[in-house]
Amino acid sequence: MVQNGVVRSTCGLCYGGCGVLVHLKNGQAVKIEGDPESPINEGKLCGKGLSSLEYLYHPDRLTYPLKRVGERGKGTWRKLPWDKALNMVADEFLRTKTRYGPESLAMIQGAAKGIQDSYLVRLANAFGTPNLATQGHVCHLPRMLASRITCGFMPIPDREYPPNCMVIWGFNPADTFFFNFERIRKACERGTRLVVIDPRETGLAREADLWLRVRPGSDLALALGMIHVIIDENLFDRGFVDTQTQGFDKIKTHVQGYPPEKVEALTWVDAKTIRQAARFYASNRPACIEWGNSLDHNVNSFQTGRALCILRALTGNLEVPGGELRWTSLALMGRRSPELELWDRMPMAQWQRRVDAEHKPLPVFRYVTPQSIIQAILHKEPYPIRAAYIQGANPVLTYSNAAKAHEALTKLDFLVVADMFMTPTADLADLVLPVAGYLEHDSVVATPAYPIAQVQQKVAQIGECRSDYETLSDLARRLGLGDGFWETEQQCLDALLKPAGLTFNEFKKTGIICGTKQYRSYETDGFETPSGKVELYSSQLEQWGFDPLPSYRELPETEFTEPNLAREYPLVMTSWKSAPFRHSGGRQIPPLRKKHPEPVVTIHPETAKNLGIKDGYQVYIETRRGKIRQKAFLSTMLDPRVVGVDYGWWFPEVEAANSYGWRESNINILTDDRPPFNQEIGSTNLRGSLCKIYKSKGET
């Protein structure tokens, strides 16, 4: 490792992939700044990235393996050497496999890490367990799969052209993807006009030409209403539709069932504004849609992605300058490829033994849903899950119906958690393994936001922390699966870069691999769909047994599906990510916690007045599942019928004996893990359900 100087690397504190420059003095990282040569962030960093050294050198970092002593959740541990720790894991996994079959072991991932996710997939497939769970069912995968099935690629806005119009749909890049926010602002300075669709009045909503304050969870109905207007008023690009799409007549007939007057009742957006938004988007070409994670959070997740892709196609905004592009593929071993993730090692008969086999998701979705893992542990249906390996996940905070997830994890015969810090989930483990942060291992970072790969370089070593690759490859050898992993992590990275004709050492010198924008490549290559066209009506979905056209399904626990419930729980619950944190992470990082010191629930002043609630009061938020407490923040940014509940809260400063306060303010105490789920990918309902709010005792 370099002792002094500046090393180019890539931030790993979220999945954005921002380039960083790491300043070293006497072998210590002393400063982090944005890399001005990175095409992702162009020299800027968000608060998380600027706190990289606080993560790296935090005194509460896990620095060696820990074995539980005594009861689960009591915070009593003893240090264990790595060899003994991994032998213990291998022995327990092999014992479980011999007694109950490989499917009795679950492997669980959290928020996307990057290539590290593929290492766990590789181990799961080599071991033979089909029970690999990801949070992808509520993050990115619904939109990605919808895009690929509709038009063959994930559209990326051509922000730099710039577009004449941008629709910011369920997305607040100022807090979650600041480098996209910077590009949007620059486009607006050059004349781009904005439409913002969001239940919350974000900063971009205040600057927009048009803001649609949609009811949480009703986005698909709104999209179908806009498609209705664009077709009914002949605002579509007839040349593109006639030559490059299939199924126009069927979508035209289908959306007759979604006139703006009907959609108004479902979305709370008046019919006049729906027409105005559709005309604005269709008439200001080229245009693009910037969509966010919130669209993935309900039963309509996948079909909402389909509907937005249909909007793009109808208006001829695919692969045009200022529209939404397909880039050339990166010269890397592909994520989710058999070469990298060993999917070909999983026999179909074994895959069909997964715990949610009855659900029958899209054939291209090769994971099980978290709720099915929890069900199998608690109720032994269709068979019991006995052991689990959790990589960088905190299900006690992030799984729907968190109390149920907590109960399930306590009932496992054996639980291993690999993480950087002790968390409410790690506190339930039999064994905790210390994981290296992004400054502590080499890697190749390719973000889904842009077709760009950048180098990540090791500049530090904290205690006995190991990278995920080191841990999983060493474990694989002890499981008799060593042939499934390269001998060293560098050999793995060399194999990943082989299509580019580079070794990792050579890549460290170049630092970057970029795809290139493609304009109208469909004129010669068509679209990567069965028909070679954009499939407004998907014969592939029909063949698989799914809706070939997007149809809106009302969410469970709303005023429409359960009017009696609405009398007891009259408010609609939503949430959003706060800028300082990534999901449930970062609460122990002082500069981030200072920016957002405690959980807050956003309430309209009119609603608060009717409930006798004042700004700063401690209040309870309650659903059928339970109640939590957060501090009231009064704001007109939301409709009076909607409340915004803070996400991902636990309290590292609370003693372990009290489980770090994971129940106190955790929104997923309130969410449900029961069906109905999204049909195609199993998304649970995280927004749009009913709740009530009332003062905590002592507030007068």
| Domain CATH for 221 | 3.40.228.10
Residues 6+ apart with CB under 8 A from 13: 48, 49, 51, 52, 55, 438, 582
Q: Measure the CA–CA gap between 488 and 482, rounded to whole angstroms.
A: 11
Q: Is 69 exposed, middle or buried (0-12, 13-18, 19+ CB in 10 A)?
A: exposed
Whether residues 197 and 324 fall in one domain: yes
Determine if the pTM surpasses 0.95: yes
Whether residues 87 and 156 fall in one domain: no
Q: Measure the CA–CA gap between 122 and 321, rounded to whole angstroms.
A: 39
pLDDT reported for residue 700: 64
Q: What angle do CA 20, 11, 3 make, to 5 degrees?
A: 60
User: Closest by alpha carbon to 534, among 248, 227, 252?
Assistant: 248
491 is a domain residue: no
**Number of folded domains that form the chain:** 3
Whether residues 283 and 366 fall in one domain: no
Cβ atoms of 47 and 592 within 8 Å: the answer is: yes
pLDDT reported for residue 1: 74
Instruction: Locate 673 and state its tokens.
Output: 């893990």
Q: In what order do the strands lie in the sheet containing 156-157?
A: 156-157, 324-327, 517-518
Last residue of a domain, one of 544, 575, 596: 544
Cβ atoms of 592 and 648 within 8 Å: the answer is: no
Q: Measure the CA–CA gap between 674 and 252, rounded to whole angstroms.
A: 34
486 is a domain residue: no
421 is a domain residue: yes
Q: Measure the CA–CA gap between 301 and 283, rounded to whole angstroms.
A: 27
Whether residues 203 and 296 fall in one domain: yes
Instruction: Locate 480 and state its tokens.
Output: 């008799």
CA–CA distance from 226 to each of 210, 301, 325, 529 (Å)? Answer: 14, 17, 22, 25
Q: Is 648 left (phi over 0), alpha (psi -120 to 50) or beta?
A: left
The beta-carbon contacts of 374-377 under 8 Å, at least 24 apart in sequence, are 374/399, 374/401, 374/404, 374/405, 374/408, 374/673, 376/106, 376/131, 377/408, 377/409, 377/411, 377/412
Q: Is 306 exposed, middle or buried (0-12, 13-18, 19+ CB in 10 A)?
A: buried
Whether residues 320 and 339 fall in one domain: no
The owner of tokens 């032998």 is 87
Consecutive H or E run containing 132 = strand 132-133
CA-atom Rg of the chain in angstroms: 25
Phi–psi pair at 84, nearest 5 degrees = -65, -40
| Domain CATH for 86 | 3.40.50.740
244 is a domain residue: yes
Whether residues 189 and 315 fall in one domain: yes
Phi–psi pair at 243, nearest 5 degrees = -100, -25
Q: Measure the CA–CA gap between 477 and 89, rounded to whole angstroms.
A: 12
688 is a domain residue: yes
Instruction: Locate 172 and state its tokens.
Output: 């607040």
Consecutive H or E run containing 187 = helix 178-189
pLDDT reported for residue 359: 85
The residue segments making up the domain with residue 579 are 563-695
Q: Measure the CA–CA gap between 39 and 578, rounded to whole angstroms.
A: 25
Whether residues 353 and 260 fall in one domain: no
3-state secondary structure 505-525: HHHHHHCEEECCEECCCHHHH
35 is a domain residue: no
The owner of tokens 């050579």 is 506
User: Closest by alpha carbon to 601, among 628, 565, 564?
Assistant: 628
User: Closest by alpha carbon to 19, among 5, 1, 31, 37?
Assistant: 37
Residues 6+ apart with CB under 8 A from 308: 143, 146, 169, 223, 289, 291, 295
Q: Measure the CA–CA gap between 300 and 554, rounded to whole angstroms.
A: 8
User: Closest by alpha carbon to 110, among 131, 132, 93?
Assistant: 132
Whether residues 377 and 471 fall in one domain: yes
Whether residues 165 and 252 fall in one domain: yes
The owner of tokens 């659903």 is 623
pLDDT reported for residue 476: 98
Cα-Cα-Cα-Cα dihedral sign, residues 257, 259, 260, 264: negative
Cβ atoms of 169 and 289 within 8 Å: the answer is: yes
The distance in angstroms from the start CA to the end CA of the chain is 59
Whether residues 265 and 164 fall in one domain: yes
Q: What angle do CA 319, 321, 324 make, to 5 degrees?
A: 45
Instruction: Locate 317 and state its tokens.
Output: 């905004």
Whether residues 632 and 659 fall in one domain: yes
Q: What angle do CA 591, 592, 596 make, to 5 degrees?
A: 120
Whether residues 114 and 235 fall in one domain: no
| Domain CATH for 673 | 2.40.40.20
Q: Per-block average pLDDT, block size 10, for the chain (700 residues)?
A: 91 94 96 96 96 98 96 90 98 98 97 92 98 96 97 96 97 93 95 98 97 98 98 98 98 98 98 98 98 97 98 98 94 88 94 92 94 97 97 97 98 98 97 98 91 96 98 98 96 96 96 94 96 97 97 97 97 96 96 98 98 97 98 98 98 89 97 96 96 87
CA–CA distance from 101 to each of 104, 106, 343, 373, 415 (Å)? Answer: 6, 11, 18, 16, 17
Consecutive H or E run containing 118 = helix 115-127
Last residue of a domain, one of 511, 544, 577: 544
447 is a domain residue: no
Instruction: Locate 645 and state its tokens.
Output: 């509940």
617 is a domain residue: yes
Residues 6+ apart with CB under 8 A from 523: none
